[in-house]
Amino acid sequence: MEVDPPATAAAGAAPATAGADGATAADPMQGSHRWELHNFSQLPNQKQYSAQFLVGGYFWRILIFPKGNNSEHLSVYLDASDSDTQAYGWSRYASFTLTVVSQFKGKDVKKDSGHQFNARESDWGFTQFLPTNELMDPDNGFLHNDTLVVFAEVHVQKSNPHLYDSYKETGHVGLKNQGATCYMNSLLQTLYHLHHFRKAVYHMPTAETEEASKSIPLALQSLFYKLQYGDTSVATKELTASFGWDTYDSFMQHDVQELNRVLCEKLEEKMKSTVVENTIQKLFEGSVVNYIECINVNYKSERKETYMDLQLDVKGCKDVYASFDKYVEVERLDGENKYQAGDEHGLQDARKGVLFEKLPPVLELQLKRFEYDFHRDTMVKINDRYEFPERLDLDVGNRKYFSPSSDRSQRNVYLLHSVLVHSGGVHGGHYYAYIRPTLEGDAWFKFDDERVTKETTQKATVEQFGGSDDDNYNHNHNNNNNNFTPPAHGGFRLAKFSNAYMLVYVRESDKDEILCNVDKEDILPHVRERLQREQEEKEKRRKEKQEAHLYTIIKVAMDRDIKAQIGTGFEDRTAAALAAGGGSNDMSADVSPGANNNSSRAIVSNPTTPASHTNEYFDLVDHEKVRHFRVQKQMTFNDFKQMVEKEMSIPVECQRYWMWAKRQNQTYRPSRPLTHEEESMAVALIRDSGTPRHEKTASGDLKLFLETPALVFGNSLHKGLPPPMREPLHTIVHDVANKRMEHLLFFKLYDPYTEMCTYVGRAFAHRDRPMSDLLPALWTFAGYPHGTPLLLFEEVKYEPVMIEEITLTQTLSEAQLEDGDIICYQRVPEVSTEETAASAGGAEVVMRDAAALSDGAAAADGHPRYDTVVKFLEYVRNRQIVRFLPLDSATQRSNDISIQSPAKDGENDDSLYIELSRNSRYDDVTAALAHRLGENVNPQHIRLTQYNAYSSTPKPAPMKYQGIDKLMDMLTHYHQISDRLYYEILDIPLPLMESLKTLKVSYHDDKTAETSTHTVRLKKDKCIGDVLGALADQLSKGVGSPGAGAPKPKAEPATPAAEAPAPAPAPAPAPAATAATTATAAVGIGIHAFAATCYYNHGNNCNDEFLVRANRH
């Protein structure tokens, strides 16, 4: 049988072309429908729907593709026809049978299926129901008188049998698996069902200001509360976050015993000095006595120890009792292994063992299912059969497991509470738990992550013993259990890989205390209130989702939104700079965009924080940052305008709304005003009619621009609209054919001196009038004197940047301007002769200090860096803030580079943040960095190293001079882009250094002691004699670093060199280098001469090494 997903491949739907005959069964949850399609051969290959029929309270219909859904078959589906009118998140399950009737041959073709119908999959059926050639074959009888008969039987079920509701079926809920946290889920469920432990967690003090993701007690309280009072599975992300885990940890399986111990230790620490102090010890802590007793003399040594859980052997043990026998087994110390009984008795034969002093109320037994196999040199899992009883009596054999000093009045009979199971092998598997919350009868539940099911005692215990199927069958057969099915595997023993690895027992006498009642009164009030609020918010969101189909969101953009979002400049950087410099940070002060005199620009001090790129210069507005209205879909738009008047104090007569349109160049612009007819319609109709089908979203947002009476911004940032506002709206001019003659344009002003491009206003312009008619409005917007010469540009798009110049003599029609277009304008730049020559050379200024740049710095020496808005927007599109870090000293030393200490911005941060263009060249980058470091730094002395985004470290090799073309390539490492580069300041220019060979020379005396190390740089065509000559020169000048064998300074005065005894001759050291080039040369050092033997080492270091030993000459 082939079952296919929803039939959505073919194009538009067509109405049914044949009559339909429907019928419903007596059972309202079952029904059928017969559909006759007349003139079948003439039907187009489009979706054909039957009439609706009602089954189970829902409307259904049959859907077919007469000539196939992209296949040469008849395609037949069942469709939920009322999908569009259902509430958000609707879902229903139905099993159904679809039949194509053979009208006289009795060879019906019938196929059945079941599906969970929902909004995403509202139809389900068979793409290849019946081959077309068989359908058209008259011998089959499917078409009689060109009529096809399709029959549908539907059975609607209240719930999907495949969708299991744990809470509804068991009263318990599960825990969500984050990837590999099933082991943790099984442990948490076990601890949760120990009521005394749960109550203690509830009573742990937590503060109202704490966050669950940072507090283990609060996260555990929240988790237990949701398990107790929730009806859906609970997430554990807050708890794992409180552990300090990241996503990687959530996908790694950890040891359950270790997690249990660490968790209990953390809780025990938090419980100190509280009302629940010592709860962990009271529940889980027991004690043993380790003893050694001499056989022939009266001497005994004892040592008491406590434990939180017991590790029991599985291998070689039949059951728990056998493991306890092995645990207390006596070891004899004799022969060479005698016990030292002190000075009085000496070595003695002795018995060594361990006995229990006390067992805890909750006994946790860790079964040693995993052990190291020395023969195979690997860890293995022990899948042997290992039995454990429901009732464990550890007082057997006259209390053979206990020491004589133990409390004999305490009965140690335990009831099995939990069985934690591992299914899989040593390298991984799955964990789940069987828990008996009440410790009574057959009330077992299986907690398998989110799914909780009722289970039998047989399933929870016997089937978790391990071993093979034969072992389980033989055990049940011998015990007359006739309900156990014998294995059918042809005589092979099939090992069971699912078996118990941890058992939890509760002492029978402490059962009432351990399983005490826990209710909401045990939870701290502030925790309870917080969790109840979270639950209410969750329910509110769920309700909103359910009712979302009744509402839509209207996003209204206004002038204030455009003003706030466009061209705010480096507001975040400026605020940080002012804060660092101690200046004012009042960003609401009025600023005149036309004030461009240099004296008004304040220099901002150097901050230590980087600038963030949150500014917007392109387009008009981000619709996610404007005012949102959630309204009913059936509300008329006129009623919505009344709502706006009430909430924003804008009279209805002062409101005109424009629809936004997405253009082919991927920009959004206001395209047309709503008509009076549209404003009388329902909001949903406006949204559906104004939004192209491919742009419609599930949320059904309606984006509008609210035009209010035109305001002149003047020298103000225009923070809001003054209520009430009674000026009339601009009357749009129409021609005799009622076609609009005016278009709405938006204007941005660019100031090259402050490098600010801001929104200044909007205006209507006649399509047949020249652009010069707009000059008075533009002068007023900018605060410029009338007559100021201006340049106009149209902002077309930003990917890539496209800005086109507009002449003042062009009309709107000639400039191809329409509603929503953006005009950027500026003063005509005053270009000097020198500037003209510089611009002719094509030089691009790309450096910008992101930490220190202010309005004044933008126009160094009174000349703007970007004299036109075209250059500025191109720069904005390609700007990049780069973080420069000095290469660490260890890396610098390994390369034998002499480093100058760079200037630091702060005591704890050596980072420098510089804004550059992504197209910057190597020299541009080093020039900007040198400028930031100070006047004494030569750009030619700076060497850069790329950042490895995967290891978060510098790359091992630095960049070659001009080896990478652009800054963007410098910041890219295997398709990962960062903002980081490392730098070092050399003592010689980088181009010169790359032309030389750097050698590390280790100088040894004739006693083979390393007295000094030296760095020698020579041209690559020099020979070893030149190396020795350079070394001699450094030795004569006292240049070099002390070697490992250099004499250490002493407190007494140094012996004069003339009185120092001559060193005794010593044999030449064996060359420790890998390759050998040996040369001997006589070199003069001052008035002395010596012979040197040189060993040439080709190491892995980027610098070659020479070991030079002085010979007696």
Sheet with 551-557: list strands edge to edge: 627-632, 551-557, 702-707, 656-662, 668-673
CA distance 807 to 7: 55
**Cβ contacts of 65 within 8 Å, gap of 6 or more:** 7, 10, 45, 46, 47, 48, 74, 75
Q: Are 913 and 929 in contact (CB under 8 A)?
A: no
Containing 98, the helix (H) or strand (E) segment is strand 91-100
Q: Which amino acid is at 1046?
A: A
Q: How many CB atoms lie within 10 A of CB 329?
A: 10
What are the backbone angles phi and psi of residue 975, rounded to the nearest 5°?
Answer: 70, 5
Beta pairing, strands 1010-1019 & 1041-1042: antiparallel
Q: Are 196 and 522 in contact (CB under 8 A)?
A: no
Q: Are 936 and 982 in contact (CB under 8 A)?
A: no
Q: Which amino acid is at 9?
A: A
Q: Which amino acid is at 222?
A: S
Query: What distances in angstroms separate CA 675 from CA 345, 442, 680, 728, 1046, one per listed residue?
Result: 112, 72, 9, 17, 94
**Largest alpha-carbon pair distance within the chain?**
130
* DSSP 8-class letter at 949: T
The per-residue b/e assignment along 594-620, b for 16 or more CB within 10 angstroms, e otherwise, is bebeeeebeebebbbbbbeeebbbbbb
Closest CA to 233 of 177, 167, 175, 182: 175
Q: Look at the block and give the residue holding tokens 């947002």.
A: 701
**Secondary structure of residue 169 in the 3-state scheme:** helix
Residue 217: both structure tokens together: 């007690």
Beta bridge partners of 234: 175
Query: What distances in angstroms separate CA 526 from CA 200, 531, 960, 1102, one per listed residue?
Result: 16, 9, 62, 63
Question: Cis ω on the peptide bond leading into residue 1047 (within 30° of 0)?
Answer: no
**Cβ contacts of 984 within 8 Å, gap of 6 or more:** 886, 887, 892, 897, 899, 942, 943, 945, 958
**Secondary structure of residue 816 in the 3-state scheme:** coil
**Secondary structure of residue 154 in the 3-state scheme:** strand
Q: How many CB atoms lie within 10 A of CB 720?
A: 11
Beta bridge partners of 291: 302, 353
**Cβ contacts of 568 within 8 Å, gap of 6 or more:** 615, 616, 758
- Indicate left, alpha or beta for 467 from its phi (over 0: left) and psi (-120 to 50: alpha): left
Residues with catalytic function: 182, 430
CA distance 223 to 189: 10
Q: Look at the block and give the residue holding tokens 């975040």.
A: 572
Q: Look at the block and give the residue holding tokens 């099984």.
A: 186
Q: Are 35 and 78 in contact (CB under 8 A)?
A: no
Question: Cis ω on the peptide bond leading into residue 724 (within 30° of 0)?
Answer: yes
CA distance 1005 to 1044: 12
